[in-house]
């Protein structure tokens, strides 16, 4: 990274609470971020607020101060709810603040599955102990627990908890269908759920609980972000995927994923070079130099065609990667547990 990329900070936070006038909160939030020269993304809804913003250390600490004194969030949001990492305003292309139906897009009406019905929150220490116990039982093949990663496949691919079940899904809005299609898997199980900062677990655990098949549902409070602050060398291996221009932040030196083309250990994402594709690709520097810069052969071909074609023609965003992956994978009896044997 360029010198100076560590100067500022990126904050990640959310707050579930009743918002009577989301439009008003949205306008206030936008003005606040502009005033502090913060970039990033903030989602506002009647169920609360979810944001990730970047700027100077002075700006981010002022932002936290103002957020904590906002009457709407008083006594709900606290200093610990803000996860921070090295970065700054340059980590986002711009500032986007908007009103949405949900503060995390699960695609289910918050009135039907509410954040109020969430699982039991575990602190990083409690979660660490649970995972430790789970891993020691799993090696004897007698675990009644599932360690569930609620994130998307491209997130868990570059970093995850040992022995986790990581659904091969592309979007969080497929998570409910994933649960529905694999209900038998969760029957009478204790489920330990985790995600990046905790927000997807709030609704995800509520959805899982609404199915009434699990024995218990637990979730990691503050997500992987908070866990890594306390256990940088714990049971989470690899990088932590983040939704900004950094793509990942690192707490240990482990690389657990490989280059798409040559298989060398590699975990730094790039966008597929084919213009209309939004897939992320793991391609190492030497493969990049050979011109292997797309997510799959179809896109690589497409890119060559596009360069030789008159502009103005749009191609449908579909390729081998999107076609090959079932929207909702069905787990067969033994779930896809990631490297339990470590």
Sign of CA dihedral 320, 325, 326, 328: negative
Q: Which domains does the chain have, with CATH numbers?
A: 8-99 (3.30.70.100), 120-247 (3.40.250.10), 258-306+316-324 (no CATH)
The pTM score is 0.88
Q: What does the pLDDT read at residue 317?
A: 62
- The token pair at 136 is 């020691």
Residue 202's pLDDT band (cuts 50, 70, 90): very high
User: What's the pLDDT tens digit per position in 158-188?
Assistant: 999 999 999 999 999 999 999 999 999 999 9
Greatest CA separation found in the chain?
Answer: 61
Residue 335 has pLDDT above 80, yes or no: no
CA angle 28–94–317, rounded 5-degree value: 120
Task: Say how far apart CA 42 and CA 87 lie, in whole Å.
Answer: 17
Sign of CA dihedral 270, 275, 279, 281: negative
Which string of b and e fits 187-226 if b means at least 16 CB within 10 Å?
eebbbbbbbbbbbbbbbbbbbbbeeebbeebbbbbbbbbb
Do residues 172 and 106 make contact, with C-beta atoms less than 8 angstroms apart?
Answer: yes
Task: Say how far apart CA 234 and CA 240 lie, in whole Å.
Answer: 13
DSSP calls for 51-69: EEEEE-HHHHHHHHHHHHH
Q: What does the pLDDT read at residue 342?
A: 42
User: What's the pLDDT tens digit per position in 277-319?
Assistant: 888 999 999 999 999 999 888 888 876 665 555 555 555 567 8
Q: What does the pLDDT read at residue 3?
A: 42
Q: What does the pLDDT read at residue 115?
A: 86
Q: Is 285 exposed, middle or buried (0-12, 13-18, 19+ CB in 10 A)?
A: exposed
15 is catalytic: no
Active-site entry in 26, 91, 195, 287: 195
Residue 334 has pLDDT above 70, yes or no: no
């Amino acid at each position: 990274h360029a010198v100076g990329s560590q100067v500022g900070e990126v904050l990640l936070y959310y707050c579930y609470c009743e918002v009577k006038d989301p439009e008003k909160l949205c306008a206030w939030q936008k003005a606040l971020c502009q005033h502090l020269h913060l970039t990033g993304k903030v989602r506002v809804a009647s169920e609360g607020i979810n944001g990730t913003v970047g700027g100077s250390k002075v700006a981010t600490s002022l932002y936290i101060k103002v957020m904590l004194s906002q009457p709407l969030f008083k006594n709900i949001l606290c200093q610990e709810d803000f996860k921070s990492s090295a970065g700054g305003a340059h980590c986002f292309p711009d500032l986007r603040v908007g009103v949405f139906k949900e503060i995390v897009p699960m695609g289910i009406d918050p009135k039907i599955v509410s954040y109020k019905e969430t699982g039991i929150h575990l602190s990083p220490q409690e979660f660490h102990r649970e995972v430790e116990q789970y891993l020691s039982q799993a090696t004897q093949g007698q675990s009644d627990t599932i360690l569930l990663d609620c994130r998307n496949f491209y997130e868990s691919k570059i970093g995850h908890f040992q022995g986790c079940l990581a659904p091969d899904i592309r979007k969080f809005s497929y998570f409910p269908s994933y649960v529905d299609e694999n209900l038998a898997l969760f029957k009478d199980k204790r489920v330990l759920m985790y995600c990046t900062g905790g927000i997807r677990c709030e609704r995800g655990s509520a959805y899982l609980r609404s199915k009434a098949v699990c024995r218990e549902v637990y979730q990691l409070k503050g997500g992987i972000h908070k866990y890594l602050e306390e256990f940088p060398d714990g049971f989470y291996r690899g990088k932590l995927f983040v939704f900004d221009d950094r793509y990942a932040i690192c707490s240990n030196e482990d690389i657990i994923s490989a280059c798409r083309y040559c298989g060398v250990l590699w975990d730094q994402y790039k966008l597929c070079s084919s213009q209309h594709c939004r897939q992320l690709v793991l391609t190492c520097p030497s493969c990049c130099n050979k011109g292997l810069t797309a997510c799959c052969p179809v896109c690589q071909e497409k890119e060559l065609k596009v360069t030789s074609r008159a502009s103005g023609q749009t191609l449908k965003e579909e390729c081998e990667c999107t076609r090959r992956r079932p929207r909702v994978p069905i787990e067969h009896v033994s779930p896809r547990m990631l490297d339990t044997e470590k």
